[in-house]
Amino acid sequence: MNGEFIQLSEARIPILDWGFLRSDATYDVVHVWQGRFFRLDKHIDRFFHSTEALRMPCKISRNNLKKILAGCVERSGLDNAYVEMIQTRGMSPNFERDPRKSEPRFIAFAVPFGWILKPEEFEKGLDVLVSNRRRISSNSIDSRIKNYHWLDLVSGMFEAFDDGHDTVILTNEENNISEGPGFNIFCVDERGLNSPNKGVLEGITRQTVLDLAKELNLPFQLRPISLEMLKNLMNCLQLQLLEV
């Protein structure tokens, strides 16, 4: 932060930073497994694209960004880590409401990996609520830009918790499946793998699944997934389980 490595507990941003006041920021998260980054270049590509799209291009070179992220991991002492890079709009002088006058702020950190579903629960899976709450439209916020506009997701999570579920999946304005808080969605039918074709973050892990499917000659489609389609698949799965 501010060009130097510090303890996470010492990190501060001014309350007048537009990232805090307006959620005017973008970020990306890359995973480290057994001391190695997973598809680091893909994450950096997306981060650079996001900063460009928000008209605050990152001024740090690719090589220096890699050194910064590696430095965070090295100093953390972690073999498995959740490594985040952030760029906020920064502060405009005298609190002027012109984003062009702000100087972007870059932050990176490494912390222990946080699971959506813990490894020991993989076989059990997640009890998921499919909510009627709408994901923020990609007509308003480009869903391909990783952002902190999470109030729809957070509200959906509370809705799920209140009803005894583990997490939530939101729908879009066309009543099709979109995504969950921190994860993309796949479903499987007679056509193969299916994942929403629009209005979602184009996840690096999601793309990895598609790359592997192509390599293994598994059919896949990016297409709208309706609530009815998802419910039909769930009913078929329940029937198969009952038959077993």
Distance from C-alpha of 31 to C-alpha of 83, rounded to nearest angstrom: 6
CATH of 8-112, one of 3.40.50.450, 3.30.470.10, 1.25.40.10, 3.10.20.30: 3.30.470.10
Distance from C-alpha of 32 to C-alpha of 83, rounded to nearest angstrom: 7
* CA R_g for the chain: 20
Distance from C-alpha of 97 to C-alpha of 196, rounded to nearest angstrom: 37
Q: What does pTM read for this prediction? A: 0.92
Residue 68 contacts by C-beta under 8 Å, 6 or more apart in sequence?
A: 60, 85, 108
Each residue's pLDDT, cut to its tens digit, for the chain (244 residues) gives 989 999 999 999 999 999 999 999 999 999 999 999 999 999 999 999 999 999 999 999 999 999 999 999 999 999 999 999 999 999 998 888 999 999 999 999 999 998 888 899 999 999 999 998 999 999 999 999 999 999 999 999 999 999 999 999 999 999 999 999 999 999 888 889 999 999 999 999 999 999 999 999 999 999 999 988 887 776 665 544 444 4
pLDDT at 95 (0 to 100): 86
Amino acid sitting at position 123: E
DSSP calls for 80-101: SEEEEEEEEEEE-GGG-S-GGG
Locate the domains of the chain by residue range: 8-112, 120-243
Contact 205, 184 (CB under 8 A): yes
pLDDT at 36 (0 to 100): 97
- Find out if CATH 3.40.950.10 is the number for domain 120-243: no
